[in-house]
Amino acid sequence: MSGNWPNAVDKEVLDLIREEAERQNSNIQLIASENFASPQVLAVTGSVLTNKYSEGYPSKRYYGGNAVIDEVETLAIRRLIDLMGAEYANVQPHSGANANLGAYLALIKPGDTVLAMSLDQGGHLTHGSPANATGQLYRFVPYGVTPASLDGGERIDMDQVRDIALKERPKLIVAGATAYSRIIDPEPFRRIADEVGALLMFDAAHIAGLVAGGVHPSPVPFADVMTFTTHKTLRGPRAGAIVCKEEIGTKIDKAIFPGLQGGPLEHVIAAKAVAFKEASTPEFKEYAAQIVTNAKALAESLASSGFRLVSGGTDNHLILVDLRDFDAELSGKEAQLCLERAGIVCNRNQIPGDPRSPFVTSGLRLGTAAQTTAGMGPEQMEVIGSMIASALRNRADDEAVAKINQEVGNLCSEFHPYEGVVAQRGAAGVTD
C-alpha cells in the first residue's frame, strides 16, 4: 500500500540533486565550513521523523505521539554529553547562529556588554556584527589579533582581551572564530572571565570535530557554554547544538524553545545522533588528526608557491591566505572566481587589517575537512597547493585554467565522497 501522494517523480528536483552530487564529487571542496556527511546521516535527515511536531523537550511536549521522538532526542542528548564530556546538552538549535543567539538570550539581557572577536579579525556575524541581531540587541566590544609585524603575530591578543575586559567589565566573553587558523586556548579566556566576573561562551562551530576527535583542547571544562555547528569538522547534518554547565541548562533550554525557535527538526536531531556516534569512534580521531596534517601540508605547499599565510600557518582545519604578496592586484573575489573555473571551490575572506571591503577582500579561506573525508592526504594537498598557484598565476589564460580543471577532475575521480545511489540521488532511498 502506498500513500495518497502524486505518483509522478519530480524529475526537475531530482536532476538538480544529481547535478549537485556530481559537483561535490568532481570538484575540490575547500570551503572551511563544509564537509561531506555520511550516507547514513543523509538518509536519516531524509526520514519520516520530519513529519512530527514535538515542541518542548523529551517527556514535556505540547503535542501527542512523541514517544519515539522522545527516545530519538534523548539518545542524541546522551550521545552528545558522552562525546563532549559535558554536563548538559541541547540538541535543538537549527543552526550555529541560533545556538549563539539562544546562548545570549539565556545568559544576558539586551544592552549588556559582551566581548568577542571582531568579524574582520576572524570572528563571526553572530559575535555582534551591527548587521546582525546580536549587534543590535547587545553592546559588543571587539578584540582582535596581534599585529602581523610582530614575531608570531596575528594570534589572538590575550593582553588586549584582558585590558578590554578590565575596562568594560562585560557580562559575557565569547571565544571562538570562523577565520582563525590557530588553536584557541580556552584556559586564559576562563582566567580573564573569572577576573572580571563574566561568563564564558566558546563558539566551537568550526573546530567541534577537532575537539571531539581530541586534536584540539576541549573548551568544555572551561566554558560555561559551548555552542557549535554539527556540519563542519564534526561532519553531521546542517545544524547547531549547545553543551553547558548543568546549572544553566534550564535557561538554555528555555531560550532555545520557546524563546527563539518553534518545533524542533527531529529528523535532523536523529542525524545529529548518528553523527555524534560516528564522531566517538577511533576512526574519527584518526580523521580529525588527518584534517590537521592535511591543512599543514596544504599550507606548506601554498607558502612555497609564494603566498603569505596569516599567522604563518595553521594548527587546525583552515588556512587564511593573504594574496597580496603573491599578486598585489589579485583580490579574494577574483581569486575565488578563478579557482571555481579551475574546479577548486573556496571562499574569499577578509584578512586582519584588510584594506579591501568584505565583498572584495585580500584573502582566501581554505579548509581541508571535506577533502580529508574524500580520502585525500598530504600528497594530494601538495598538488592542490600547486594547482591553486598555477590557476591564479594564469588566470587570464582560459586554456591554462581549463587544463587545471581537467587535472582537478582526474584527481577527484580517485577521491570522491559519494558512490552509487548516494551519488545518483544525494540520499539513499530516493528513486525514480
Closer to ligand DSN at the Cβ: 117 or 422? 117
Closer to ligand DSN at the Cβ: 38 or 233? 233
Q: What is the size of the binding site for ligand DSN (CB under 6 A)? A: 4
By CB under 6 A, the residues from 121 to 140 that bind ligand DSN are 124
User: Shortest gap between Cβ of 349 and ligand DSN (angstroms)?
Assistant: 9
Closer to ligand DSN at the Cβ: 33 or 92? 33
Beta strand pairing status for 225-229 and 240-244? antiparallel
182 is catalytic: no
Closer to ligand DSN at the Cβ: 24 or 33? 33
CA distance 153 to 146: 5
Burial of 107 (0-12, 13-18, 19+ CB in 10 A): buried
Residue 227 makes contact with ligand DSN by CB under 6 A: no
CA distance 429 to 432: 10
By CB under 6 A, the residues from 165 to 204 that bind ligand DSN are 178
User: Shortest gap between Cβ of 34 and ligand DSN (angstroms)?
Assistant: 8
Residue 33 makes contact with ligand DSN by CB under 6 A: yes
User: Shortest gap between Cβ of 288 and ligand DSN (angstroms)?
Assistant: 18
Closer to ligand DSN at the Cβ: 54 or 178? 178
The residue written with cell numbers 544525494 in the block is 426
229 is catalytic: yes
Residue 294 · residue 381 · CB < 8 Å: yes
22 is catalytic: no
Phi first, then psi: give them for residue 406, nearest 5 degrees.
Answer: -65, -40
Give the total residue count for the chain: 432
Which residue of the set 18, 22, 53, 333 is catalytic?
53
Question: In sequence order, what are the residues at sequence separation of 6 or more whose Cβ sits closer than 8 angstroms to the Cβ of residue 186?
Answer: 175, 200, 202, 217, 218, 219, 221, 222, 223
> Which of 89, 135, 396, 116 minimizes the C-alpha distance to 256?
89
53 is catalytic: yes
Residue 139 · residue 170 · CB < 8 Å: no
CA distance 424 to 430: 9
User: Shortest gap between Cβ of 146 and ligand DSN (angstroms)?
Assistant: 22
203 is catalytic: yes
The residue of the chain with the least Cβ separation from ligand DSN equals: 33
In single-letter form, the type of residue at position 26 comes to S
Residue 261 makes contact with ligand DSN by CB under 6 A: no
User: Shortest gap between Cβ of 178 and ligand DSN (angstroms)?
Assistant: 4
- Sign of torsion, CA 413 418 421 427? negative
Which residue of the set 113, 178, 229, 314 is catalytic?
229
User: Shortest gap between Cβ of 33 and ligand DSN (angstroms)?
Assistant: 3
By CB under 6 A, the residues from 262 to 301 that bind ligand DSN are none
Catalytic positions: 53, 55, 203, 229, 232, 238
In the complex, the residues that contact ligand DSN under the rule CB under 6 A are: 33, 96, 124, 178
